[in-house]
A and B are shown apart, each in its own frame.
Chain A
Amino acid sequence: MNLILFTFIVLLGFTSYYFGRRKAYTIQSTNKRLTALPQFYGYYLAIWCAIPAFIIFSLWAIFEPTIVKLLILSDYSNQGYLDDELNLIYEKTKALSRGQFTGEITPFIEASAEKYLSLRSIAQSSKVVIVLSAIIASVAYAYKRISSNSRTREPVEKFLNAVLFTASLAAILTTVGIVFSLIFQTIDFFKVIPLFDFVFGTHWYPAKAFVRDSSEALDPTMYSDTFGAVPIFAGTFFIAFIAMCVAIPIGLMSGIYLAEYASTKVRQYAKPLIEILAGIPTVVYGFFAALTVGPFLKELGTSMGLEVSAESALAAGGVMGIMIIPFISSLSDDVITSVPQSLRDGSYAMGATKSETIKRVIFPAALPGIVGSILLGVSRAIGETMIVVMASGLAANLTLNPLESTSTITAQIVVILIGDQAFGDPKTQAAFALGMSLFLVTLCLNIVALRVVKKYREKYE
């Protein structure tokens, strides 16, 4: 129904465009000068068609459900129902009207459901009538208004500019959405679990937070020693550290080699090949780590008399390191290539060899950029999810032994939220609190890294 209406409005838009342009041609045929190209007259009318439609549609979307709910529940007022009960009645009514109700049907609810359906259909048809009449009225008004000396290009362009501006707000809206979705759950979480226990507690067993009834849910003693995030934070940074131990030497050296030594031919093939590593989905790395690297390390460890867990931090961190190699190599390659040639020439003129030049001149000059690329790599390692979920353990051990299993922030979020979640349960809220800390940590890393890289770029550009 809405789709048909929408198509019809789009057709109306085209028609108004056509009428606007025709009016422009008529004006032109009376030998008067137009103030804009004829199509602007058309756009002008089409905008006059689109704006009222958009406004009415959004108003409807906002107010229709509320008003229908009020009307339905007005039947139940003065009967001493609580708010929660009224909401339940409304939900039942809606379910029944969709034919998805699977409980005992009382005559009251049946009547409400009928009323609901009739209200909805009244709302639908009045929407159609109002939208169409509003469009026709506004287009007719605009059609009458345009004459030989009215301006059409300026309003059209202003409108387009407003649309462009609104689109650019999407990025801000997304950030706001992220903060918004995280912050309320996080605040609720810290109402029950003291911040101190979360940040300094050393036991993380969210499975223990099994709530039997709502009176227990808000009792803090239920959760002592349950949501201490130290093992998770430690695990996260530990795995990221292992990953960087693999990624930094290999990534940095390949970046240097590609920028300074490699012939154009080698560069042409090796660079895209290494970058393939960045394009492989992380779930594939996770599968690789769990199926191949984990068992391989375990066997290797056993043959050397070491006890290695099949889901060791080493396997997850190592594979994660491979994933991060291309980020570091491409970024440091870029950074090194943008170091001015004059610095190299000066060093060669003093008799330095190539490696000496790189180590003593180019590397210090490129250091800020390289540090920036490494920080971006760290931020990626901390936020990486699938490799850890699949290859590292899910139990939060507080350990610094790379052969044991540890867990990370991201893995715990997945573990808690996979399957059905009950909002309002401290366990679910804990996942959001973890997400919040993850967001904050990566935010800081990103801002610092981007700043460093930007400063560096400005220096040599």
Chain B
Amino acid sequence: MNKNKEQLLNKRYKAEQRFRLYGQSAIFMALLFLTIFIFKIFSTGYSAFQKTWLIVPVTFDAELMMLDQNPSNEDLQDADYYDIALKSMADLDPNANEDQENELKRMVSYFFEKEIKNELLNDPNLIGKTKEVYLTASDDLDQVFKGNYPRDLPEDQRRVSDYQLKIFDQLVANGKVESKFNISFFTNADSREAELAGIASSFMGSIFSILVCLMIAFPVAVLAAIYLEEFAPKNRFTDFIEVNINNLAAVPSIVFGLLGLGVLLAIFQLPRSTPLVGGITLSLMTLPTIIIAARASLKAVPPSIREAALAMGASRMQTTMHHTVPLSMPGTLSGTIIGLAQALGETAPLILIGMVAFVNTIPGSPMDPAASLPVQIYIWAESAERGFVEKVSACIMVLLGFLITMNLFAQIIRHKFEKKWS
């Protein structure tokens, strides 16, 4: 009998331990996913911050550039750089035949002509001389240099030919290949060529959308929260508004995209693909988040503050505007930042309103077509070229960096400025 009891107790303790273990492993799994996730993004993305350059001697031959004696600055602008650019690439292998010369040309980005031109514009005295110029390597060679390219594939499955690899290896052996910090990733707009594509246009698109979103959502949401928390009579209509807000907070984001498409674009005829429309759409999405946060922080202001102000003869409006609202601002602001961070990561609604269009210019205002950072991630992730994989990860790193900063900022505001009422 006693033994039986002990067995039962042991069983129960074992069950207890098992249950505990389930809980621990669940947390472990969740954190494991997070770690794998972040590790994967960083390990594929960090190399995008480096860019591979080929150092190629260029002879600035005045005759090939169609330049006269003592050319003016304008002449330099209009000169023909294509021939010397081609020639300097072809000179990498003196024995190259015509096909091979073409392959040599494709070892650098199609931007090489411009890079050579800039070199000369910086220093016009170079005419007639030879200088080693840094040229952006093609994205495939870039990947080869970073070790991301499977060199052992059969040649017909590679975009880099054996010949190109041979010349490239010679250049590496001579120290004529260099890797430097990739500034153009931050200053260039999107491009079809992976080696030239940058995030500047989508970054500006994101900034403009978020600004538009902030300018619409913040005032409307704060005013609505003040009304609902401080003035609204308790009746069916107020309840209805409340149900609406809670429900909007859980409506799938893509439905807001349909709203933007069906109302903003089709009825109000706002310009497609612009951060303006994107920002308005996002603001409708962020509205409930901010309202809920603002209401919570208004609720957290103790009634004694209101009563004290009312007792001093302030009207309800004065009490609210002078005392309650300022005291609730830290909570409201941190809620707003969190809402904006959500909006910043949103993709689907922006795709529907056409912010996926290929934009190779940097937008200067919310009325110019643009993409946004998450949409840029989507666009690049859908491209087949190998060079874009690391770009996607790098773009994700930039986006996550922003989100983390915004969330930290929200935390700081909350902890530093929020009054603790006890």
Contacts and interface: CB of A to CB of B under 8 A. Distances in A.
Contact of A181 (B41, B263, B321, B393): B263
A391 to B, nearest CB: 10
B377 A283 contact: yes
Contacts of B407: 279
Given A168-B227, A276-B34, A358 B19 contact: yes
Contact of B381 (A252, A390, A417): A390
Contacts of B381: 283, 286-287, 290-291, 390
A233 to B, nearest CB: 15
A442 B252 contact: yes
Interface string A142-178: 0000000000010001001101110111111011011
B15 interface: yes
Given A168-B241, A257-B24, A438-B254, A174 B284 contact: yes
Contacts of A175: 244, 247-248
B346 interface: yes
Interface residues of A, number: 90
Contact of B315 (A157, A260, A386, A450): A157
Interface stretch (B100-108, B110-118, B184-192, B396-404): B396-404
A167 B377 contact: no
A279 B341 contact: yes
B196 interface: no
Given A322-B30, A446-B247, 15 more contacts: A160-B317, A164-B231, A168-B232, A177-B284, A181-B263, A250-B26, A250-B30, A261-B23, A287-B381, A288-B40, A353-B16, A355-B16, A382-B252, A419-B356, A435-B255
B177 interface: no
Contacts of A258: 27
Contacts of B342: 279
Interface in B29-78: 29-31, 33-34, 37, 40-41, 44
- Interface hub of B25, B40, B381, B392 (most chain A Cβ within 10 A): B381
Contacts of A177: 259, 263, 284
Contacts of A414: 254, 348, 351-352
Contact of B241 (A153, A171, A181): A171
B82 interface: no
Contacts of A380: 250, 252
A254 B27 contact: yes
A190 B290 CA distance: 37
A256 interface: yes
A168 B223 contact: yes
Contacts of B256: 178
B355 to A, nearest CB: 11
A180 interface: yes
A435 B247 contact: no
20 contacts: A160-B317, A174-B284, A253-B23, A254-B27, A256-B23, A274-B30, A277-B33, A280-B37, A281-B346, A283-B347, A284-B41, A354-B20, A380-B250, A385-B252, A385-B253, A385-B348, A414-B348, A438-B254, A446-B251, A450-B243
Interface in A90-104: none
Given A157-B315, A164-B226, A413-B352, A257 B346 contact: no
